[in-house]
Structure 1
């Protein structure tokens, strides 16, 4: 990881914590739980991606984090937006069934959900 990338990741990490510190929920009783969620999610995802060395994968993670920050601030909701895509709901060519569906589902996944599994 280059020093420029490292400083960008660290500034993004600090930005997430600043957002969590000043977070105000739409429902006042949920403010503390949402703040804890933001901190916990940031710690989990940053630690999960700590060992990345490939510049493109680091860039994807940075883009995902920035997208989640912007979506969270815009909608005032720290939780990732759900993805409503039926299991076999994408069109395929003749003869290509399950593998093509899995590949298309992976490609259709928005950037802000790249770190999340299918079942979460």
Structure 2
């Protein structure tokens, strides 16, 4: 499974995706300056199955049902690397279904 991390996700988080997953960041691909629309379009063309972002506004900004890629939104507050790592079991649990359905999954909530 090919997973793309938005430029707002810490690069170190890629190490917390278990199994046979190819995990790239938007920066790896030279897409740091691209907006979400361009990233989603390019990612789908490149065969990515899931896009992971911290951008909770993506649901209003993009026509996600029309996209050929699943989206996982991490709503973790505060969005520190430590709290993001704590959310990873829920993220990895949701990847297959999100990819299969080209769906939207929101993971997170207030951390203590």
TM-score where L is the length of structure 1: 0.29
Q: Which of these two proteins has the greater Rg computed from alpha carbons?
A: 1
Structure having the higher helix fraction is 1
TM-score where L is the length of structure 2: 0.30
